[in-house]
Amino acid sequence: MNLNWRLIIKNGLLGGIIAFYLSAIGMAETFSQRYLISTFLSTGQLFVAVGGVTAGILTARALKEDYKKSTAYIGSLLAGVFSSLPLILLIFLIQVLVIQQTGQEVIFRWRDMFVNFSPGLVAMLTFGQGLGLGIPLLILASALLAGLGATFILFPDRLRLAWLNGLIWMLGIGIFSENVTQILGQFGGRGLARFLFQQRTLNPIAAILIFAGAFAIAYFRVHKTVQNRWTGMPARQQKRGRTIGLVLGILLLISLPWMVGQFLSQALFMVGLYVMMGLGLNIVVGYAGLLDLGYVAFFAVGAYTMGILTSTGPLGQSDLSFWAVLPIAVLVGLAWGVFLGFPVLRMRGDYLAIVTLGFGEIIRILATSDWLAPFEGGPQGILHIPNPNFFGITMHQPQTMYYLVVAGSLLIAFVTIRLRESRLGRQWMAMREDEDVAEAMGINLVQTKLLAFSIGAAFSAMAGAIFAARLGNIFPHSFNLLISINALALIIVGGLGSIPGVIVGSLILVGLPELLREFTEYRLLMYGLLLIVMMLFRPEGFLPEETQKRELHADEEELAPLET
Amino acid sequence: MLKRYFQNISWVDVFLRVFQIAALIVITIGIYNTVTTGRYTSAQWATLVFAGLAQGSVYALIALGYTLVYGILLMINFAHGEVYMAGAFTGVFLAQYLSNIGFLDSNPFLGVTALILLAGTVSTLIAVLLERIAYRPLRGAPRLVPLITAIGASFALQYTFRGLYGAEFRAYPAVKALSGLVNVFGFNVPLVQLVVLAAAVVFMVALYLFVERTKMGKAMRAVSEDKDVARLMGIDIDKVIVTTFAIGGALAGVAGVFNGLFRPQGVYFFMGFFPGLKAFTAAVLGGIGNLPGAMIGGLLLGVFESLFPNLILEGLGIPSANQLRDAFAFTMLVLILIFRPQGIFGERLAEKKA
């Protein structure tokens, strides 16, 4: 048997380095007590396992073409063995640097530097068995994990998908146990929740049942059968089916907040808010091609307009209702879009990006300063902004506010679609492709750019106004760069210029972090890694617009023959 | 003649011209008021200028990394501020150790050199890794895509170092040999600021010579002119790009140590974000892609930022002007780009390449 050792060692070490990294920054130990399935598997262990599994997947994929299956399995197991080496190194580092220093007087305590190099981590990595037995166990476990990773690649297709499906559902329900419990609770399924989970962790029988169910659904290709029957139906029935589907979809959209409970409704509200902003920014970046990194400025403008005009506190300037101020906020946002758009009319590309970023920061800093504090409260912000009142119902729950953002998103989506198909939309896209040519074709660049800027700004201001009315208090720190970045990232992750993409992007980049609140300080780390991984594997986004996709794939076709 | 001139200008030009004049008037009034009321003595102004120069040399060193990468890849390396943080944050541990054993006081030169070496190495490593993982696979993708990975990398690096070294502030120890005042033109200036300024200038001159005089420097310039032609000339593009990132990273690490030496506020995982933004501002100020531009831009930004809130804003009667320091840096960026979009030394990149 002539194995490609270089490749095996390389992939094995790569996986090991991932495991080393996740352990060294504390993700392993911090979550070592957060169990997913009974007490067999914790989230911390899952993080460490990522290394071994990755090693197995990479090796199996590389060996699949040129070798027999059995050889590929053996290669993957060997890669798993190598993937344990960085972890063993970590164990020894902790042993030598940290554990030997404990209780001694030293000038430099390594634990002060590497705060997560703890004895607990060693205990976790050696399965609490001490070094002598623990290290062989770790090697064995790494090899097995790599073998598991290899099965994701090497199993026959049908089995492979079912196997993956089962594992993903089982782990997913384990990770989101709290949310699942909440949803079940809304349906009176407390009993079921109690059967599934013992103190947030899946009970083993439930885990096996979930796995088996998901496995069976994928293995017997239930969705394929449904699809086949659907295509087999006569056209009239299909039409009726579509209407029923639409009605069900609308009903689902309406009843969603009552099905998922308070906490998840708040998450949905945030998702909806970002959909509104994303749709607005999509016009600026996706259609007009103007890279705006200071989008939060308009969000803040909308929120402060709402705050100043409706607050019942000392800073309130009038006692207008939410509904009267909402259009005012939109108009103020529009005006600010023109105002901030004007100076940057002559700038392009990265210069535009950095100047708009500057605007965003300027507005935030001004809002925090003492200078403007008499008008908008400085760092203390504006308090006592009343919740909107809808025909006598005060919308103080996230469930009711959810309808507001859904209505807002639908309105903005409608306007966006109409604009895209209009003359103006075509002018934007022409400008995006080439400014000089667009101008030569008789497009008034000043007007077109300002319209893109100000319409985008107006939508963001609308979102900001709703945000202020939901929270009741606004503070300048809420309007930081992260909001601009989030809005930009979500439209790119979803697919630049695509409206369904905005929704998908917002669910992934806003909804998911809301659900993963328990990961606290590691949430933004995961967000960052997710952005990188997303862009590496799907640079065109999840649901790209057709032209965008074609452009990227045309590139690949051109390059592909050269590289192979 | 005049008629044709009027035909050619659009109302955007008129607006921008009016805006420029208004800005100039506001600045003049502010300076006039402050100077005539004599709120500060000349010694106080000198203190502000030298503090600004020291801060500016840190900005300049970081800005060089931005400008080098932008010159070659036409890409904003948004995560460069985090590269700076990595060096500074790692260096602080060695600094504390050396200070505890007394080495930093007995051998200040060797001690600081060791700090620079460590921080520079860590930052270089991070910068090279960043290029390898987040940017290289995306060469040739639409320009927004690497920007997003850069933003992602920025978060990932921040929280990686938070996980690794913890979330607390850690302060660089004061170096005894560098504390104390020096007399420059009759003003008392902290020695550490002068040393930082001088050392930063040495690094900048070294970089300039490297780019202008060595073969690798020549290759870098060739790649920034035209990648494809450079490849045809037998230049290894990947090697040049990695070198660029490595040099930028090393300078950022050095900047991190300097920052720690003269600013007692301490370092932590989020420290790279704003200096990164400001260094980018400095790079744009000097004309991005232009090395002397980044150096001068950094120094100018440092001085402006330290001087102008007191000089202009207080003259206009704005309370607690120093709160607006950061806003001021960005306002200046906007103004400069309106007055002179290509930056101080830049060619018309904005229209040619962007």
DSSP per residue, B62-119: HHHHHHHHHHHH----TTHHHHHHHHHHHHHHHHHHHHHTTHHHHSHHHHHHHHHHHH
Between B12, B97, B147, which is nearest A345 by CB? B12
Cross-chain residue pair A349–B354, CB shorter than 8 Å: yes
Q: Which pLDDT belongs to residue B342?
A: 74
Nearest-Cα distance to chain B for A128, in Å, is: 23
Cross-chain residue pair A529–B280, CB shorter than 8 Å: no
A432 CB contacts (<8 Å, ≥6 apart)? Answer: A287, A288, A289
Q: Tens digits of per-residue pLDDT, A40-54?
A: 888 889 999 999 999
The string over A417-434, giving b where at least 16 C-beta atoms fall within 10 Å of a residue's C-beta and e elsewhere, is eebbeeebbebbbbbbee
Count other C-beta atoms under 10 Å from residue B265's C-beta. 11
β-bridge partners, A35: A42
Count other C-beta atoms under 10 Å from residue A561's C-beta. 7
Q: Which helix (H) or strand (E) holds A36?
A: strand A35-37
The string over B229-249, giving b where at least 16 C-beta atoms fall within 10 Å of a residue's C-beta and e elsewhere, is ebeeeebebeebbbbbbbbbb
Chain A residues with CB under 8 Å of B326 CB are 361, 365
DSSP per residue, A353-374: HHHHHHHHHHHHHHHHSSTTHH
Q: Mapping DSSP to helix (H, G, I), strand (E, B) and coil, where does residue A42 land?
A: strand
Higher-confidence position of B248 and B322? B248
Q: Which pLDDT belongs to residue A413?
A: 94
Rounded average pLDDT over A119-124: 89
Between A113, A527, A555, which is nearest B155 by CB? A527
The string over A473-494, giving b where at least 16 C-beta atoms fall within 10 Å of a residue's C-beta and e elsewhere, is bbbbebbebebbbbbbbbbbbb
Q: How far apart are the C-alpha atoms of B115 and B100, rounded to whole Å?
A: 14
A494 CB contacts (<8 Å, ≥6 apart)? Answer: A278, A500, A501, A502, A503, A504, A505, A506, A508, A541, A542, A543
Cross-chain residue pair B153–A350, CB shorter than 8 Å: no
User: Which residue bears the tokens 């200028």?
Assistant: B49
Q: Which pLDDT belongs to residue B174?
A: 85
Nearest-Cα distance to chain B for A40, in Å, is: 25
Question: Measuring CA to CA, how many Å separate A242 from each of A16, A113, A239?
Answer: 50, 61, 5
Residue A483 near residue A473, CB atoms below 8 Å: no
Mutant choice from B228, B305, B334 vs A, greatest count of A C-beta within 10 A: B334
Q: How far apart are the C-alpha atoms of A250 and A244, rounded to whole Å?
A: 10
Rounded average pLDDT over A463-472: 91
End-to-end, the C-alpha distance of chain A in Å comes to 27
Q: Tens digits of per-residue pLDDT, A348-380?
A: 777 788 788 888 888 888 888 877 777 777 788
The string over A522-545, giving b where at least 16 C-beta atoms fall within 10 Å of a residue's C-beta and e elsewhere, is bbbbbbbbbbbebbbeebbbbbbb
Residue B340 near residue B290, CB atoms below 8 Å: no
Average pLDDT across chain B, whole number: 86
A488 CB contacts (<8 Å, ≥6 apart)? Answer: A281, A285, A292, A293, A295, B148, B151
Q: Mapping DSSP to helix (H, G, I), strand (E, B) and coil, where does residue A160 land?
A: helix
Residue A115 near residue A48, CB atoms below 8 Å: no
Query: Is residue B308 pLDDT above 60, yes or no?
Result: yes
Residue B331 near residue B273, CB atoms below 8 Å: no
Please report, rounded to a whole number, the percentage of residues in chain B having pLDDT higher than 70. Answer: 95
Q: Which pLDDT belongs to residue A226?
A: 82
B145 CB contacts (<8 Å, ≥6 apart)? Answer: A492, A535, A539, B138
Q: Which pLDDT belongs to residue B28?
A: 85
Summarize chain A as % helix, strand, coil (round to 5): 75, 5, 20
At A343, is the pLDDT very low, low, confident or very high (cuts 50, 70, 90)?
confident
How do A201-202 and A197-198 pair as beta strands? Answer: antiparallel
ipTM: 0.86
Cross-chain residue pair A492–B148, CB shorter than 8 Å: yes
Average pLDDT across chain A, whole number: 86
Q: How far apart are the C-alpha atoms of B270 and B287, rounded to whole Å?
A: 27
Q: Among A429-438, B53-62, B238-247, which stretch is predicted with the lowest mean pLDDT?
A: A429-438
Q: Tens digits of per-residue pLDDT, A394-413?
A: 777 888 888 889 999 999 99
A161 CB contacts (<8 Å, ≥6 apart)? Answer: A218, A219
Task: Note the helical H segments in A380-494.
Answer: 398-421, 423-433, 435-440, 445-471, 481-494
Cross-chain residue pair A112–B331, CB shorter than 8 Å: no
Greatest mean pLDDT among B154-158, B265-269, B284-288 lies in B154-158
B218 CB contacts (<8 Å, ≥6 apart)? Answer: none
Q: Which pLDDT belongs to residue B347?
A: 61
Rounded average pLDDT over B216-222: 92
Higher-confidence position of B329 and A167? A167
At B352, is the pLDDT very low, low, confident or very high (cuts 50, 70, 90)?
very low
Specify the DSSP class assigned to residue A441. T
Chain A residues with CB under 8 Å of B10 CB are 446
Residue B277 near residue B79, CB atoms below 8 Å: no
How do A201-202 and A389-390 pair as beta strands? Answer: unpaired
Cross-chain residue pair A108–B137, CB shorter than 8 Å: no
Q: Mapping DSSP to helix (H, G, I), strand (E, B) and coil, where does residue A290 land?
A: coil
Q: How far apart are the C-alpha atoms of A453 and A334, rounded to whole Å?
A: 8
Can you give the residue ranges of every domain in chain B? Answer: 54-272
- Joined together, the tokens standing for residue A524 give 């933004």
Q: Tens digits of per-residue pLDDT, B269-280?
A: 989 888 888 898
Between B153, B165, B277, which is nearest A528 by CB? B153
Residue B257 near residue B115, CB atoms below 8 Å: yes
- Joined together, the tokens standing for residue A29 give 């130990």
Q: Which pLDDT belongs to residue B313?
A: 77
Chain A residues with CB under 8 Å of B158 CB are 524, 528
Q: Mapping DSSP to helix (H, G, I), strand (E, B) and coil, where does residue A444 land?
A: coil
Q: How far apart are the C-alpha atoms of A396 and A36, rounded to whole Å?
A: 35
Residue A413 near residue A499, CB atoms below 8 Å: yes
Name the phi and psi angles at A2, rounded to 5: -110, 95
Task: Note the helical H segments in chain B.
Answer: 2-8, 11-37, 42-73, 80-100, 103-106, 108-130, 144-165, 191-213, 215-225, 227-232, 237-262, 273-286, 291-308, 325-339, 349-352
Residue B83 near residue B253, CB atoms below 8 Å: yes
Nearest-Cα distance to chain B for A349, in Å, is: 5
Residue B28 near residue B311, CB atoms below 8 Å: no
Query: Is residue A28 pLDDT above 80, yes or no?
Result: yes
Q: Which pLDDT belongs to residue A558?
A: 46
Query: Is residue A319 pLDDT above 80, yes or no?
Result: no
Rounded average pLDDT over A301-320: 85
For chain A, say whether B322 makes contact (Cβ under 8 Å). Answer: no
Nearest-Cα distance to chain A for B183, in Å, is: 36
Q: How far apart are the C-alpha atoms of A168 and A48, rounded to whole Å?
A: 17
Q: Which pLDDT belongs to residue A561?
A: 42
Chain A residues with CB under 8 Å of B153 CB are 528, 532
Query: Is residue B249 pLDDT above 50, yes or no?
Result: yes
A340 CB contacts (<8 Å, ≥6 apart)? Answer: A294, A297, A356, A359, A453, A457
Can you give the residue ranges of every domain in chain A? Answer: 1-102+112-154, 157-232, 259-480
Q: Which pLDDT belongs to residue A186?
A: 77
Q: How far apart are the C-alpha atoms of A365 and A379, rounded to whole Å?
A: 10
Query: Is residue A559 pLDDT above 50, yes or no?
Result: no
β-bridge partners, B267: B170
Q: Among A30-44, A115-129, A330-344, B222-236, which stretch is predicted with the lowest mean pLDDT?
A: A30-44
Rounded average pLDDT over A516-532: 85
Q: Which pLDDT belongs to residue A311?
A: 85
Q: Which pLDDT belongs to residue B177?
A: 81
Query: Is residue B349 pLDDT above 60, yes or no?
Result: no
Query: Is residue B92 pLDDT above 80, yes or no?
Result: yes
At A65, is the pLDDT very low, low, confident or very high (cuts 50, 70, 90)?
confident
Residue B261 near residue B240, CB atoms below 8 Å: no
Between B96, B152, B341, which is nearest A346 by CB? B341
Please report, rounded to a whole number, the percentage of residues in chain A having pLDDT higher than 90. Answer: 31
Q: Which pLDDT belongs to residue B345?
A: 76
Rounded average pLDDT over A185-191: 76
Q: Tens digits of per-residue pLDDT, A233-278?
A: 888 888 888 889 899 988 888 888 887 778 888 889 999 999 999 9
Query: Is residue A563 pLDDT above 60, yes or no?
Result: no
Count other C-beta atoms under 10 Å from residue B333's C-beta. 27
Query: Is residue A347 pLDDT above 80, yes or no?
Result: no
Q: Which pLDDT belongs to residue A562?
A: 40
Between B100, B134, B327, which is nearest A365 by CB? B327
Q: Which helix (H) or strand (E) holds A377?
A: none
At B161, is the pLDDT very low, low, confident or very high (cuts 50, 70, 90)?
very high
Query: Is residue B353 pLDDT above 50, yes or no?
Result: no
Q: How far apart are the C-alpha atoms of B263 and A109, rounded to whole Å?
A: 24
For chain A, say whether B154 makes contact (Cβ under 8 Å). Answer: yes
Q: How far apart are the C-alpha atoms of A154 and A89, rounded to whole Å?
A: 30
